[in-house]
Structure 1
Amino acid sequence: MSIAFCKLKFLGNKECFSGFTSLEKLTIVECPELISSLVREDEIDDQANGRWLLPCSLGILDIDDASLETLQPCFPGDLTRLKVLDVSENDALKSLQLHSCTALEELTIRYCKSLDALEGFQSLRGLRYLKVYGCTSLPQCLKSLSTQGYELCPGLERLQIDDPSFLTTPFCKHLTSLQCLKLEDKFRHIHAAGLTCEQEVALQLLTSLQELGFHHCSKLSDLPVGLHSHPSLKRLEIIYCPSISRLPERGLPPSLEELEVHKCSEKLSEQCRKLATSKLKVIIDKEYVN
């Protein structure tokens, strides 16, 4: 079910929405009245505030612009199959409560600038893919959870962020299973020409990385100087980064198998083009170099 840009309200009992027992995917985009008619707002009972009872069959939930302060997805009998949750464009959201989302594998949180609480995040033992964009308070929230002794996301494999300072949080320092990291800065949060020394060190600690990407980093002119020492790196992407004109002086890691450059400077493209061998595949503007 997909509902977008509608002034609809759910007129039945809020609990009845969980009766859609065959519903597997739900997308709601810019329908704040519909969301508010489904979600409980209880000023007396904080535990019930933001509670949204969803069917146990639901596997994918995508909520865009909900105008909520608290969101708490729940399921009858705490039985959940929810594997993908995407919460975006909600400036009012302060607390996302995930206690009932224990089956979650993929979590995306985008442009929720007031969000500073992820309740139950430590219970997401199966989370494999995390995307965080435009949420300036979340790094501090994750730092707080990490320093409380919680082991967060022990099996996380993929991480996409728009702020390199995220790398220096205690949360990132313990991601021993991380295989893919992408830094994507479409909205230009990065103002420095390169990573700080602390960020460089934090990146070196991610020894299991197999893929590393820099996307839409318009101000970035220098790639990490220690790139050559990543022992497991197999793929490097440099996409829409026009200020990067050269690879690091010490070169690329010997483990690298694929290098992709798209919409970057001609200097960088030519330097990468010369590196193509039978071992290293080079892709320039979506075409393989022979």
Structure 2
Amino acid sequence: MGESGTICPFPASLKKLDVEGEASMKSMALLSNLTSLTTLRLSNCWNLTVDGFNPLIAVNLIEMRVYNCNTLAADMLSEVASHSQRAKLLPAGYFSRLEVLIVDDICGLLVAPICNLLAPALHTLEFSFDESTESFTEEQDRALQLLTSLQNLIFYACEGLQSLPQGLHRLSSLKELLVFGSPKIRSMPKDGLPVSLRKLQMNDRIAEIDKQIETIKRTNPDLSISYYPSSTSCEIDLSAFFA
């Protein structure tokens, strides 16, 4: 049993949960006993809401992938950040152990409370299938810069995105930047990319971007650059990011 007498269908000892296309799931209360989870993957659960969410679910999480679940990812992380700040339910001084986060909600994720929570451990952040975001506000840019452990940043099939964050050059720990399936991006950030970057993978070659990247390459000769046609089906292998 979970909170308010909710019957929890999974054993409390469960370490990994992967749920896809389950329209019957409507409340996070169903998962409220899963405080041992290290991996949580929820996709295409359109009716699932944050109602009944237990912030203790996040205590041991190392990987989280949530997309096509409306604003669920941001709602959950906001709840965790809120309880952490008030030292309610979560241990005093709690910070997330999350290392890998894959979501489809750029606007919901890039807010200061969530990024502060994720800063100590998050090394891989992927935005996938965000079709509504076109650009980054100054507030979102500043929030992204709070992710001081970030090494891998991926934009995958963000079809509305027209530009990258202008403050990317301030991410001093960033090693890999991958941009796939985002054909509207026509320029690099005006202040370039961080000197720590070692790998850049982009969509089709575009003359404007090519020229900017050549300038970046002169200041960062160790940078490896590759391009993938937008028609290419790319499977992003994240296994190397766990090494």
Aligned: 1:108 with 2:41: yes
Cα gap change, 1:46/1:99 in structure 2, threshold over 3 Å: closer, same or farther? closer
Go from structure 1 to structure 2 and tell me whether the alpha carbon gap of 1:153 and 1:104 turns closer, same or farther (over 3 Å shift): farther
Q: What is the aligned counterpart of 1:281 among 224, 230, 235? A: 224
Instruction: Report the structure, 1 or 2, having the larger strand content.
Output: 1
Instruction: Name the residue aligned to 1:147.
Output: 82
- Would the aligned equivalents of 2:71 and 2:105 in 1 still touch at CA under 8 Å? no
Q: Could you tell me which of 20, 41, 54 is aligned with 1:88?
A: 20
- Kindly provide the amino acid, as one letter, of the partner of residue 48 in structure 2: L
CA-based RMSD: 2.8
TM-superposed CA distance for 1:178, in Å, is 0.8
Whether the 8 Å contact between 2:166 and 2:189 is mirrored in structure 1 is yes
What are the superposed Cα offsets for residues 147-199 of structure 1, whole Å, 9 maximum, x if unpaired? 2335576211111111112221633331121111111116x2x242x112221
Contact 2:205 2:227 in 1 (8 A): no
Give the whole-Å Cα distance in 2 for the aligned partners of 1:208 and 1:136.
Answer: 27
User: Greater CA radius of gyration, 1 or 2?
Assistant: 1
1:108, 1:285 → 2: CA distance?
27
Q: Pick one of 107, 110, 115 that aligns with 1:167.
A: 110
Task: Report the equivalent of 1:212.
Answer: 153
Q: Measure how far apart 1:282 and its partner are.
A: 1.2
Residue by residue over 1:58-94, the C-alpha shift from the partner in whole angstroms, topping out at 9 and shown as x without a partner, is xxxxxxxxxxxxxxx12xxx5x2x3321112223322
* Contact 1:273 1:284 (8 Å CA) reproduced: no
Q: Is the 8 A contact 2:115 2:146 kept in 1?
A: no
Corresponding residue to 2:5 among 10, 23, 47: 47
Partners of 1:257 and 1:280 within 8 A in 2? yes
What is the percent sequence identity of the aligned residues?
A: 31
The CA distance in 2 between the partners of 1:153 and 1:132, in whole Å, is 20
**1:214 match: secondary structure:** strand
For the 8 Å contact 2:35–2:59, the answer to whether it is kept is yes
4+ residue segments displaced more than 6 Å:
none
In the TM superposition, residue 266 of structure 1 has moved relative to its aligned partner by 5.3
Unaligned runs of 5+ in 2: 230-243
* Bigger fraction of residues in helix: 2
Structure 1, residues 120-164: CA drift from partner, whole Å, max 9, x if none?
A: 342442211111112224223442343233557621111111111
Is the Cα contact below 8 Å between 1:83 and 1:105 reproduced in 2? yes
Larger RCO: Structure 1 or Structure 2 (Cα < 8 Å, ≥ 6 residues apart)?
A: 2
Residue from 64, 79, 91 that aligns with 1:130: 64
Calculate the TM-score normalised by the size of structure 2.
Answer: 0.76
Could you tell which deviates more after superposition, 174-183 or 120-129?
120-129
Q: Among residues 161, 184, 195, which one is paired with 2:128 in the alignment?
A: 184
- Residue in structure 2 matched with residue 232 of structure 1 by the alignment: 173
Matches within 5 A, 1:17-56: 47-49=5-7, 51-52=8-9
SS of the residue 1:282 aligns to: strand
Cα distance in 2 for partners of 1:284, 1:169 equals 32
Q: Aligned residues, how many? A: 214
Displacement of 1:284 in angstroms is 1.8
Alpha-carbon separation, structure 2, partners of 1:122 and 1:265: 46
| Residue equivalent to 2:194 | 253
Change in Cα spacing, 1:183 to 1:195, as seen in structure 2 (3 Å) is same
